[in-house]
Amino acid sequence: MSQNIQDVLSSFSQKLARFNKSPDAQRVVAPSKDSYYEEKIRERAERLRNSVVSTYKIYRAPFEALGEKSDRAASLDRDEQALLKAYNLYKSCMEIDKENQDEIGATHIKNVELYSPLADKASYTSGGQFIYLLCWLYFEQNCQEFLPFFKDFENHFVLCFSPSENFQFEDGHEKEIFELVKAEFYS
């Protein structure tokens, strides 16, 4: 019986040798768990990229993307203009403050909180869409000295600004969107 096992092994070895020498020989590699997760991560990144690109195209040029008669385009345009006005108002306050500080800098504006109609829109205050307005302001309007954010103040939101060098995104997702917009539209 041991001769029979040896014959089987020998025959298998010969077949394996012929297979390995064959030019069409291809090894089938079982997919690993890592490659599965890598593919899922790539798919998620591509879905996010597509979503960010299509959404930002609308914010970047609402009438072009949605049509001249679109109510949504008109609303987005008003929101963009409201943010630009708030930015200019804040920047003016900071310039006046800088001009009027005394020698020791003791008298100055500590903080500026602006009422803005944007603060009444849940899509901006908690819906995640404000990052697109921020990108529009930063990239399209070149308003890069201060960056806007909302602060909850006595049960309502106020629009605030922070010097860009001190600004921190509330979460990694907003930073990821900002970087995607930068890479896809401004690189």
pLDDT of residue 44: 92
Domain boundaries, the chain: 41-100+111-185
- Cβ contacts of 96 within 8 Å, gap of 6 or more: 109
Q: Is pLDDT above 70 for 23?
A: no
pLDDT of residue 22: 60
pLDDT tens by residue, 143-180: 999 999 999 988 889 999 999 999 999 888 999 999 99
Please tell me which residue, 14 or 28, carries the higher pLDDT value.
14
pLDDT of residue 160: 93
The angle formed by the CA atoms of residues 94, 96 and 97, to the nearest 5 degrees, is: 60
pLDDT of residue 173: 93
pLDDT tens by residue, 72-107: 999 999 999 999 999 999 999 999 888 877 666 677
Q: What is the number of other CB atoms lying within 10 angstroms of the CB of residue 36? A: 10
pLDDT tens by residue, 103-146: 666 777 877 888 899 999 999 999 999 999 999 999 999 999 99
Cβ(159)–Cβ(146) below 8 Å: no
Q: Is pLDDT above 80 for 31?
A: no
pLDDT of residue 11: 74
